[in-house]
């Protein structure tokens, strides 16, 4: 009995130890698994970096004076343009002007051969002198015959009457001579064409030595100081233009064809007396001193008319304005550097500025560049223009 129970006891002891080992190993495995799943997850969660702020540029909304304008397209036109055309026919003796240069008022531009006109003037003066001599002789005869008729009948009444008629005819002839002299004198003056105003002379169409008639156009002279710009605006702007004109001549700004370079500042001179029924536009004319000659006849330009000035407008950079399904909005930056969407009303846009009529107040800070990365409640940070461009 003692021999048989020893091995059984040892077998039970071994089995108990084996079961205990397996149990402890299982518990350890479960602990490792739980730690690897739950604990590791916690480490992963806590290891995530904090969200980065969006680099933007911001600006503070401040009241400012801003001009409200109306824009249109136009072209530059000489204030005056005159064809260089002689009023009489003849051969060109001289063209003493320089093409493309300024000619002052009364400067000689064309001289025709004056000899035919001088000869005509001399002939008219000679005829007058002859008629004056005949008149003087006839008046003497009339005076003598009137005396003879009253004293003794040595002259007849018919003779006296004929001499009276001859005196009247000669007086009328002298008046005609005066008219002929004046005409000849004018033709002689017309043989010289002078600049009617200070202006720029064009290229010539006819050279010296050619015969010309009053229909011949030798060239043109244009007055460019002052100079005009003609342009059009929609008829819907007429009321604003008239209201502005009632307060004084509205200011007009002219830019080059691309609209980037300011060329001159002037005033509105004329609002045309009717609206074009085919286009629904109104023609306008502006005046510019043009002392620097930056405006040149025939050039196309962009025109802006100041219809009013708002002294305390809330104007923001146009780049700050975003457009969504519900209208225009901007990103307002709060004190904690978070952004929120703010709907705004817009009353006008002038160049790089937009006038906000509602939704903002003075002192608000808004995002003016870098909005592409901003979302509701996102944190933002001030960045340089280069940093904002690098993020785009």
Instruction: Write the DSSP assignment of 314-327 as a string of letters.
Output: EEEEGGG-EEETTE
Structurally, at CATH architecture level, domain 55-65+312-391 sits in: Beta Barrel (2.40)
> Hey, do 55-65+312-391 and 69-78+222-310 end up sharing a CATH topology, with the first three levels equal?
no
Structurally, at CATH architecture level, domain 69-78+222-310 sits in: Beta Barrel (2.40)
Please name which of 380, 385, 384, 306 lies closest in space to residue 348, comparing C-alpha atoms: 306
Q: Are 195 and 109 in contact (CB under 8 A)?
A: yes
Instruction: State the SS3 of 56-112.
Output: EEEEECCEEEEEEEEEEEEEEEEEEEEEECCCCCEEEEECCCCCCCEECCCCEEEEE
The structure tokens listed for 28 are 């350890």
* One pLDDT digit (tens) per residue for the chain, 392 residues: 444 555 555 556 655 666 666 566 665 566 555 555 544 445 444 545 556 788 999 999 999 888 889 999 999 999 999 999 999 999 999 999 999 999 999 999 999 999 999 999 999 999 999 999 999 999 998 888 888 888 776 778 888 889 899 999 999 999 999 999 999 999 999 999 999 999 999 999 999 999 999 999 999 999 999 999 999 999 999 999 999 999 999 999 999 999 889 999 999 999 999 999 999 999 999 999 999 999 999 999 999 999 998 888 898 999 999 999 989 999 999 999 999 999 999 988 877 889 999 999 999 999 999 888 899 999 999 888 777 765 55
User: Where are the chain's structural domains?
Assistant: 1-48, 55-65+312-391, 69-78+222-310, 83-201
Please tell me the pTM assigned to this model: 0.69
């Amino acid at each position: 009995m003692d021999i048989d129970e020893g091995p059984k006891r040892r077998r039970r002891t071994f089995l108990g130890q084996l079961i205990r080992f397996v149990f402890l190993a299982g518990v350890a495995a479960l602990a490792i698994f739980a730690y690897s799943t739950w604990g590791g997850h916690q480490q992963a969660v806590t290891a995530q970096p904090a969200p980065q702020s969006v680099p933007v540029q911001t600006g503070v909304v401040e009241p400012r004076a801003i001009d409200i304008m109306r824009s249109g397209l136009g072209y530059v036109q000489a204030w005056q343009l005159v064809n260089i055309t002689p009023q009489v026919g003849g051969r060109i003796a001289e063209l003493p002007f320089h093409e493309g240069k300024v000619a002052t008022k009364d400067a000689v531009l064309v001289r025709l051969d004056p000899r035919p006109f001088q000869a005509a003037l001399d002939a008219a003066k000679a005829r007058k002198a002859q008629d004056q001599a005949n008149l003087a002789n006839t008046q003497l005869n009339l005076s003598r015959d009137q005396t003879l008729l009253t004293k003794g009948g040595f002259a007849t009444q018919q003779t006296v009457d004929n001499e009276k008629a001859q005196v009247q005819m000669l007086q009328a002839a002298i008046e005609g001579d005066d008219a002929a002299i004046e005409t000849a004198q004018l033709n002689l003056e017309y043989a010289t064409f002078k600049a009617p105003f200070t202006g720029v002379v064009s290229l010539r169409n006819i050279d010296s030595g050619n015969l010309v008639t009053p229909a011949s156009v030798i060239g043109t002279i244009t007055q460019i100081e002052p100079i005009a710009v003609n342009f059009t605006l929609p008829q819907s702007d007429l009321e604003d233009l008239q209201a502005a004109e009632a307060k004084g001549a509205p200011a007009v700004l002219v830019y080059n064809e691309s609209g980037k370079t300011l060329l001159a500042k002037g005033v509105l001179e004329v609002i045309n007396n009717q609206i074009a029924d085919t286009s629904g536009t109104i023609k306008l004319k502006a005046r510019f001193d043009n002392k620097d000659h930056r405006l040149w006849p025939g050039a196309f330009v962009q025109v802006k008319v100041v219809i009013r000035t708002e002294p305390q407008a809330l104007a923001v950079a146009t780049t700050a304005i975003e457009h969504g399904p519900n209208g225009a909005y901007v990103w307002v930056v709060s004190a904690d550097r978070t952004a929120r969407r703010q709907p705004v009303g817009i009353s006008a846009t002038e160049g790089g500025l937009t006038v906000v009529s509602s939704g903002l107040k003075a002192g608000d800070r808004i995002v003016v560049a870098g909005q592409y990365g901003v979302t509701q409640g996102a944190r933002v940070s001030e960045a340089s223009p280069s940093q904002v461009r690098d993020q785009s």
